[in-house]
Amino acid sequence: MRLILLGPPGAGKGTQSRLISKRYHIPQISTGDILRKAVAEKTTLGIKAKSYLDRGALVPDDVVIEMIEGRLRENDCRSGYILDGFPRTAAQAEALSKNLKKMRAEIDHVINIDVDYNELLERLTGRRTCRKCGEGFHIVFNPPQKEGICDKCGGELYQREDDKKDTILERLKVYEEQSAQLKDYYSMDARFYSIKGLGGVEEIFDKIVCVLES
């Protein structure tokens, strides 16, 4: 099973990807993990990517696609994989499709987790992180026993810069601009499914399983 999981920041892609990975015994693949590994190992592509990251620029699509293609050729991907949050643009989707055709390993399912804008704001701006141990909480969905204090180590909880409202609004704006073209690219494909990302984690996972096993 080769699967692409799409959705805005805060939709729960990472959580659902881990559940899918565990149920179907296929690896969860994210561009962030691939980039960090390539940079740490100082591969040719990693060095190239680092030159962009160091100056705060986006890593070009061709570099990212080449990294992903290399990852998908690894042994643990023979039975399938989940691409978590990639592609992000129609151009990336087109490039990925061409490369997968060359590999004779086209995508089986593209699932989009659709979440209401206001719900996303509540999810993302409610996150809190422990300064000491890094444990994550949420003021609504997973509050600490004592406000502002980490249950695990007693450290101070704070709101990261990328979880503040202005930053979140910008992230969602960028996502909407990019995803509009991406949804158009996939929406006419019979392999594309959009599910509502409302309810508990297991409830959303059940919806995904229904799509994958229908």
From 36, 48, 50, 171, the catalytic residue: 171
Would you call 171 a catalytic residue per the annotation? Answer: yes
Check 13, 71, 128, 207 and give the catalytic one. Answer: 13
**Residue 55 annotated to the active site:** no
Report the alpha-carbon angle 153-157-159, nearest 5. 150
Catalytic-residue membership of 101: no
Q: Is 195 exposed, middle or buried (0-12, 13-18, 19+ CB in 10 A)?
A: middle
Catalytic entry in 2, 127, 128, 207:
127
Q: What tokens appear for 178 in the block?
A: 């990019």
Q: Is 42 a catalytic residue?
A: no
* 160 tagged catalytic: yes
**Strand ranges, E, within the chain:** 2-6, 28-29, 81-84, 109-114, 127-130, 136-138, 157-158, 192-196
Active-site residue identified among 37, 132, 160, 196: 160
Q: Which of 18, 48, 50, 88 is catalytic?
A: 88
**Pair 63, 49: CB distance under 8 Å:** yes
Positions marked active-site: 13, 88, 127, 160, 171
